[in-house]
Amino acid sequence: MGSARSLSGSSTAFLLLSGGLLRATLLLRSSDLSDDVRRYAWDARVGAAGISPYAYAPSDPAVSQLAPAVAVAVPHADVRTVYPPAAQAAFRTARLLGGDVALRVFFAAADLSSVALIAAMGGAEAGFGAALYAFHPLPITESAGQGHLDSLGVALLVASVVFLFRGARGRAGVAFALSAMTKYVSLAATLPLVRRGKGKLLAAALAVGMALWALASKGGVSPLGGLPEYAERWEFNAPVYSGLAALLDAGNVPVAAKDLFMDLKAWIGHPAWTQRVFPYFYAGFLARAILGMILAAALLVISWKVHDTETAVFASLGALLLCSPTLHPWYLLWILPFAARRREPAFLYLSFAAPVSYALLYPVSWLPKAAVYAIEYVPFAALATRTLRRRGA
């Protein structure tokens, strides 16, 4: 933070050069903390063979024969891809240019472009935000080091905000659609962006988004792919979700809900569709459903109450991250440009502390799960509470 403050007066060119050199040091390292790059490369391989990556899981014999030794090493090989059409285009492009290294170069360049975009947003905090992002270890590690595609979606989302600030609502809509079609996270910012960009932004976003969706749907395969499985099964480093699921279990809420449903089922005559509901009476699903409703309400309130577009985007992304059952360190890249510009202490702290959660994936005997959560979220909660009190005063 002190370095960012001292470098906040530096030119954008200097920040890009320095940030680029830092990212370059990690480009030739293997992705040792995450294996997502393997999935990106597999999707590109399947697409290059003329098969929709949404049609089959890597373990399916219909595609595993393309490269049997590679297929078994793909993460979550039993689940079809969850990555949207623009992400698939990026994977295919990187495959043509040189594979895994090209992917990391591409995503590191996208990440570096966020530095220029933060500066381009203008305002008193632009220099500080750009400097902090340029030298922040999280984006450097997760883009150049681990090759996460989030850096591309983040850059496109920030570009959408920049275009909005400059009155280019159509371009803002195109950038927003490309961001959402890279990863669906940016959809959390829909209401604030549409409120500012109005019909022109919405029309441009819908046109681009629907075109990409239609192109990816050739052959009748939905680009949703394995997204339903991801939504139902994935959970990581999310104390709000974990705590709520534990409370529901302790209170026997799933059993009570199932009993109520059985009474309803009998009352309406036992229609066939009711049989498909039974697998969802467990604490994890109910917690997801409750948090989904809370998130929807929060996004509506933010859009209604918060009139500043940048603040509303920041708050919407924050609500999504806190309500998500999964919070990998690289997910925080989505909120980091806005937190850096605002010098928002809670999410800035979390962006530095979140890598501790890798101890949940690669357990350390002296660092139990409760300690990981405490390191990440106790200071975060204290800082967030302090900020809210100050702003409410």
pLDDT reading at 291 higher than 90: yes
CA separation, residue 361 to residues 32, 58, 173, 295, 380 (Å)? 12, 22, 37, 27, 21
Exposure of 220 by Cβ count < 10 A (0-12 exposed, 13-18 middle, 19+ buried)? exposed
178-229: pLDDT as tens digits: 999 999 999 999 999 999 999 999 999 999 999 999 999 987 899 999 999 9
319-344: pLDDT as tens digits: 999 999 999 999 999 999 999 999 99
244-255: pLDDT as tens digits: 999 999 999 999
pLDDT for the residue 7 = 60
pLDDT reading at 73 higher than 80: yes
126-184: pLDDT as tens digits: 899 999 999 999 999 999 999 999 999 999 999 999 999 999 999 999 999 999 999 99
